[in-house]
């Protein structure tokens, strides 16, 4: 089967032919219909995450059709459309897994990082970590829900009851979570790369009450902020923007170094937290919620062979919404 392979970090992906494996016990063989291109893929390709399997097929926002079912699988059959997220498996037995925090499992394995992902014609996935997908979404539209949507949803939950919500970086995750936040009655303030008028117009079109440069303070104090951009300097900026008792959530798996800052912008029971991975419960809740809002994903599609172009455009901030590969 055709696949795009990462042989070593900081190198372009290589087009190649690899063996299509049958599904083992508990697994599904999927024909990939679409796979989102996520910023985490960039962190893997750019060598910003440790211990990358080599070679590996990236991609963890997989929409696929079940071709074959491994022994012992329940709940899926050939022909079903399913989604595969970043969380590929966990140990199921540690203190995190047994307390509803499987996103923190130390033995977790991740799709497109430890496990071959969806930049290919076929993928194998653990059925226990796959999701049934809402029929309201076409394949390309559904793909960004599986990471951008899920990490955005988890970040929004961590923001609590914040009414004035700041979103730093307006890409794939932000354009989804903004819709949910507006539907919930929150007021969204979008902070983008300085001068990125296209992203600011996009944010306002999705219901943001204000959109401007991240280098400037928003026009009102924020109750909470979510940082999607992998820029550590935004942490003190967001702390200055939130009220006493406010929360700053860092939603990326990687971020540049956070500069030192004066204690007074943290004082007043402000908090900084990271949002890590997802749980299957997050997926079930969000995929049930998305059609109710309804969340509409803005996608730009690329053929599988153009994966390097899609990654380059994402790196340069030239994607509005989400990029999706169509094998």
Average pLDDT over residues 286-296: 98
117 and 154 inside one domain: no
Q: Render pLDDT for 150-180 as a digit per residue (tens, 0 to 9).
A: 999 999 999 999 999 999 999 999 999 999 9
117 and 171 together in one domain: no
Residue 160 shares a structural domain with residue 309: no
Domain boundary among 231, 255, 274: 274
Q: How far apart are the first and last CA of the chain?
A: 11
- Given pLDDT bands bounded at 50, 70 and 90, which one contains residue 215? confident
User: What is the sign of the dihedral through the CA atoms of 168, 290, 43 and 257?
Assistant: positive
CA distance 106 to 108: 6
Burial status of residue 51 (CB atoms within 10 A of its CB: 0-12, 13-18, 19 or more): exposed
Q: What is residue 178's predicted lDDT score, i.e. its pLDDT?
A: 98
CATH code, 40:
3.90.180.10
**Residues 53 and 168 both lie in one domain:** no
77-135 per-position pLDDT tens digit: 999 999 999 999 999 999 999 999 999 999 999 999 999 999 999 999 999 999 999 99
Cα 15 to Cα 12: distance, rounded to the nearest angstrom: 10
Name the DSSP class of 227.
Answer: E
* Mean pLDDT value of segment 290-298: 98
Residues facing residue 191 across a β-bridge: 168, 212
How many of the other CB atoms lie within 10 Å of CB of 289? 17
Question: Which of 244, 259, 274 marks a domain boundary?
Answer: 274
Q: How many domains does the chain have?
A: 2
Structural domain range at position 15: 2-146+278-326
For residues 185 and 289, state if they share a domain: no
Q: Are residues 130 and 159 in the same domain?
A: no
Q: Residues 270, 296: contact at Cβ < 8 Å?
A: no
Residues 79 and 136 occupy one common structural domain: yes
Token representation of residue 112: 């497109």
Look up tokens 């990271």; give the residue: 274
What is residue 289's predicted lDDT score, i.e. its pLDDT? 98
pLDDT tens for each residue of 57-71: 999 999 999 999 999
Q: Match 């995750």 to its residue by tokens.
A: 173
Q: Are residue 13 and residue 133 in the same domain, yes or no? A: yes
Instruction: Write down the pTM of the prediction.
Output: 0.95
């Amino acid at each position: 089967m055709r696949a795009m392979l990462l042989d070593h970090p900081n190198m372009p992906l290589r087009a190649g032919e690899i063996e299509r494996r049958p599904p083992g016990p508990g697994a599904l063989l999927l024909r990939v219909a679409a796979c989102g291109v996520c910023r985490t893929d960039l962190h893997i390709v750019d060598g910003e995450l440790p211990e990358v399997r080599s070679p590996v097929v990236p991609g963890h926002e997989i929409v696929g059709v079940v071709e074959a079912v491994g022994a012992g699988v329940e709940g899926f059959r050939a022909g079903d459309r399913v989604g595969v997220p970043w969380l590929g498996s966990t140990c199921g037995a540690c203190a995190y897994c047994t307390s509803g925090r499987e996103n923190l499992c130390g033995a977790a394995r991740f799709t497109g990082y430890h496990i071959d992902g969806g930049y290919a014609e076929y993928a194998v996935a653990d059925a226990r970590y796959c999701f049934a997908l809402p029929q309201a979404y076409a394949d390309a539209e559904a793909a960004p829900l599986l990471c951008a949507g899920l990490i955005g949803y988890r970040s929004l939950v961590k923001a609590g009851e914040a009414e004035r919500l700041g979103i730093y970086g307006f890409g794939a995750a932000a354009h989804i979570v903004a819709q949910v936040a507006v539907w919930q009655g929150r007021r969204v303030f979008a902070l983008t790369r300085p001068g990125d008028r296209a992203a600011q117009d996009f944010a306002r079109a999705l219901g943001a009450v204000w959109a401007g440069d991240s280098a400037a303070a928003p026009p009102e104090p924020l109750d909470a902020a979510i940082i999607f951009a992998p820029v550590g300097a935004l942490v003190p900026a967001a702390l200055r923007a939130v009220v006493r008792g406010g929360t700053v959530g860092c939603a990326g798996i990687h971020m540049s170094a956070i500069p030192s800052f004066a204690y007074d912008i943290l004082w007043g029971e402000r908090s900084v937290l990271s949002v890590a991975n997802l749980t299957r419960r997050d997926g079930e809740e969000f995929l049930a919620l998305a059609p109710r809002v309804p969340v509409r994903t803005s996608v730009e599609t690329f053929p599988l062979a153009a994966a390097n172009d899609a990654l380059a455009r994402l790196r340069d901030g030239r994607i509005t919404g989400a990029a999706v590969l169509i094998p």
